[in-house]
Amino acid sequence: MESKLRRILRFMELTDVFFAVFDEEDRLIFANRKYRETFYLAAEEYPLWPDLMRRNFHARRGTVISNPDFELWLKGTLSRRGKVPFRAFETDVHDGTWLWMTETVDEDGWMLCLASDITPLRAQGRTLRQERDIALRSSLTDELTGIANRRFLMERLSDMVEREPETGRSPAGCFAIFDVDNFKQVNDRFGHAFGDRLLIGFAQKISTLVRRVDCFGRLGGEEFGLVLPRMTPAEAAGAVEAMLEDVGALRPFSEHPEFAYSFSAGIASAARREDQADLYARADAALYKAKRAGKNRVCLAD
């Protein structure tokens, strides 16, 4: 078996196909020669994917990122990256290479990236396809916060309840709805610009606290949703309780250092093949139960 594995690894090094594996934390675990050369990785370097992209962006190498605000681009990309079992797309590289890339994600959030150089084959229509891809990303991104929008979030919710269970894994998962407490008072007291800043900061904070396989997005206004595949209600409640603590420690406005805020959350456990609207309604009812109970808390659906 060891000799076979060594031979497989040797082929990976010889091939002109780009090959890389990232774990559930989005840290590089393995990359072949072609991938490392193209994305400027040393032989024994295993960075987090966001760190790799940030470094290459500032050095103007690797993947071409048209958005001049890298952090905004990264926030939106991470809210969608690894949330679907498989996706394929084209990407441009600063050296002029044009790649056809696929991402395959397993149940634990590990990702296999494969890419092929299609520069000689797909030159015609490249600009049109780029514009199409940009428009598609925009249609799945919340304009204010830069994270996934309602459309993308609800698609991931459907994926969770429709996906066949893996052997030995029974729960489909949970869906949570977050609502920022007393948000209207923030707008009334400080103005809408401060309200927007609060929502942006809230989205950024929660995004750092979710797993690769989770999907966090804005539903609208001060409401956000979180899809938690394969989590039991108790696990989901524990995760959200920790988020409540972290958000409670934030001070979002340097001009008003005394100001703090909270959010309320409702969680519903999903049944396999459950109607998406029913699951949403149960999570929404749990949210309002949390609001009536005094806010700054999480409640589970009945």
Residue 41 DSSP label: -
pLDDT score recorded for residue 210: 95
> Do 155 and 296 belong together in one domain?
yes
Does the pLDDT of residue 129 top 80, yes or no?
no
Judge whether 222 lies within some domain: yes
pLDDT score recorded for residue 165: 60
pLDDT score recorded for residue 5: 81
Q: 3-state DSSP call for residue 2?
A: helix
Does the pLDDT of residue 135 top 80, yes or no?
no
> Do 162 and 45 belong together in one domain?
no
Q: Are strands 111-117 and 98-105 parallel, antiparallel or unpaired?
A: antiparallel
Task: Tell me which residue has tokens 């979002």.
Answer: 252
Active site residues: 222
Residue 109 CA to residue 45 CA, distance in Å, equals: 21
What confidence tens digit (pLDDT) does each residue in 203-223 have?
Answer: 999 999 999 999 999 999 999
Does the pLDDT of residue 144 top 70, yes or no?
yes
Judge whether 160 lies within some domain: yes
> Do 119 and 35 belong together in one domain?
yes
> Do 178 and 265 belong together in one domain?
yes
> Do 134 and 159 belong together in one domain?
no
Residue that is last in its domain, among 82, 113, 139 = 139
What is the residue range of 228's domain?
150-300
pTM, entire model: 0.80
* CATH, residue 211: 3.30.70.270
Q: What are 240's two structure tokens? A: 């959200």
Confidence of residue 120 (pLDDT cuts 50, 70, 90): confident
Find the DSSP H helices in the chain.
2-14, 33-38, 49-59, 70-78, 126-139, 150-162, 183-190, 192-207, 233-248, 276-292
Residue 5 CA to residue 99 CA, distance in Å, equals: 27
When pLDDT is averaged across residues 96-101 and rounded to a whole number, the result is 91
Q: What Å distances lie between residue 186 and 166, 181, 261, 295, CA to CA?
A: 44, 9, 9, 15
Q: What are 40's two structure tokens? A: 């400027």
Judge whether 30 lies within some domain: yes
Residue 250 CA to residue 263 CA, distance in Å, equals: 12
* Amino acid letter, 265: A
CB-based contacts of 8, cutoff 8 Å, min separation 6: none
| 226 touches 178 (CB < 8 A) | yes
Task: Tell me which residue has tokens 């039991």.
Answer: 232
- Report the mean per-residue pLDDT for the chain: 91
Task: Tell me which residue has tokens 């072609």.
Answer: 34
| 210 touches 173 (CB < 8 A) | no
Residue that is last in its domain, among 93, 118, 139 = 139
Judge whether 180 lies within some domain: yes
Judge whether 128 lies within some domain: yes
Judge whether 145 lies within some domain: no
> Do 162 and 244 belong together in one domain?
yes
> Do 179 and 67 belong together in one domain?
no
> Do 119 and 222 belong together in one domain?
no
> Do 51 and 130 belong together in one domain?
yes
* CATH, residue 82: 3.30.450.20
Integer-rounded Cα Rg, in Å, for the chain is: 21
> Do 263 and 134 belong together in one domain?
no
Does the pLDDT of residue 122 top 60, yes or no?
no
Other CB atoms within 10 A of residue 234 CB: 12
Does the pLDDT of residue 77 top 70, yes or no?
yes
| 249 touches 263 (CB < 8 A) | no
Q: What are 102's two structure tokens? A: 């696929």
Task: Say how many residues make up the chain.
Answer: 302
Does the pLDDT of residue 268 top 90, yes or no?
yes
> Do 106 and 207 belong together in one domain?
no
Judge whether 144 lies within some domain: no
Total domains in the fold of the chain: 2
Judge whether 195 lies within some domain: yes
Residue 130 CA to residue 186 CA, distance in Å, equals: 40
Residue 221 CA to residue 184 CA, distance in Å, equals: 10
> Do 46 and 132 belong together in one domain?
yes
